[in-house]
Chain A
């Protein structure tokens, strides 16, 4: 059943067609920066435009002024450093257009829980869906946190990967990413089936990830078909792995075998 939302505030929802955010690559010891492409609707020429970066754990929040709808400003790169997010967990973003004329301070349009395109993580065509961070994993090379409000986070052990290049290595991706997809889809379908149709939550993008990114066409079985749903997850994971060509990427070449 899809969830119908009532919009009593008449606030417009901004989409990826209006806002694109990209993070700079992570560099040890330096805060990351970001860039924003805005193609905003002409709601109110004088409406103020703000971009906010935020994260619930550890808590941090920054706000950036992007001028008005009519006269947007592009802050210099040095002014768009995420200095409050010193560790590796990328923030989420929120974009607001705020009335500065009739009802000063009223939200005219908003997008929240935006994930920036991140060169360090798995990408879907429109936005990254798996954030990556490094920490002490207590003996595990990798682990996935499924409890964060903003969506799954892949944690890689900082000792195992001091140069932070594991996510770029095909062997790592081939061995780890299918299991991450399986874990996340299982979490959604088995533990939070009600979240599937909620377009405001991360679950919505993940459940569509096999189809949107790899063309997996099989429909999700009905909620009462538990076995069918588990089979669907398995088929989706195999399909994604095949399309990503992980087996061929891992196959030793003649040079390797000599």
Chain B
């Protein structure tokens, strides 16, 4: 099977499933929709692997998708709502995994069917967002590790603090600083206390700094020195 793009009817069917899943949390994903020609606007000449990988985090997924499309010489159709909805259903076990009792919690529709023309909501899509971040930093994706290391279905508050603000998530300097502060370079894992108040405060500070400083090329070590004392434990 190749990657595909849902048409409006396909998106609607998927949306209806999400609504039903909220009242019956054990409903099986309607994977038959993925190959229903009535619901497909077009196919993409890129093969969808079977079985598909299990991704340990957002970075792995974004890398996988980028590699598949790059090797085929095709742009990822990032502006296609039907593409992201189709992919979300294809990877539903990873974006809304069942618990031990088979129950799924899909969350808001925007996590699965993106609102692509609304920049305030686009970041909520569980698959489009890591790909956006990865592509913004594809010269060195490790600089954005702070928002790419969580599992696909749990992006986390720290991720939201940065990815909801385009000026921050697109800036190499701010992402390098946030990764330096919040990711332990020895273990590659997030540091304790790296979300909650600290993340919210850093997000606000960064917003202020972007009005005074040119941050894209700033060295994260230099940048860390101008942060207030409350961040000393992360430096």
Contacts and interface: CB of A to CB of B under 8 A. Distances in A.
Interface of A: 9, 11, 48, 50, 52, 54, 56-61, 63, 84, 86-87, 89, 96, 98, 105-107, 135-136, 138, 145, 147-149, 153
Interface of B: 7-8, 41, 75, 78-80, 116-120, 122, 128, 132-133, 135-136, 166, 169-171, 211-216, 218
A56 B166 contact: yes
Contacts of A9: 211-212
A60 B135 contact: yes
A257 B213 CA distance: 64
Contacts of A86: 75
A148 B166 CA distance: 13
Contacts of B116: 57-58
A61 B213 contact: no
B212 A106 contact: yes
Given A9-B212, A149-B119, 18 more contacts: A11-B212, A54-B170, A56-B122, A56-B166, A57-B118, A58-B116, A58-B122, A58-B128, A86-B75, A87-B79, A89-B79, A105-B213, A105-B215, A105-B218, A106-B213, A107-B214, A135-B79, A138-B8
Nearest to A61: B170
A148 B119 CA distance: 7
A58 B79 contact: yes
A168 to B, nearest CB: 23
A87 B117 CA distance: 14
Nearest to A10: B212
A147 B133 CA distance: 21
Contact of B78 (A50, A58, A106, A145): A58
Given A86-B75, A147-B118, A149-B119, A105 B136 contact: no
Contacts of B216: 52, 63
11 contacts: A9-B211, A48-B214, A56-B166, A57-B118, A58-B79, A58-B122, A59-B170, A61-B170, A98-B214, A105-B213, A107-B212
Nearest to B223: A105
Contacts of A50: 214
A58 B118 CA distance: 10
Contacts of B169: 59
Contacts of B7: 138
Contact of B119 (A11, A57, A84, A96): A57
Interface centre among A59, A87, A107 (most CB of B within 10 A): A59
Contacts of A106: 212-214
B189 to A, nearest CB: 26
A50 B79 CA distance: 28
Contact of B122 (A57, A105, A135): A57
Given A50-B214, A56-B166, A105-B214, A148 B117 contact: yes
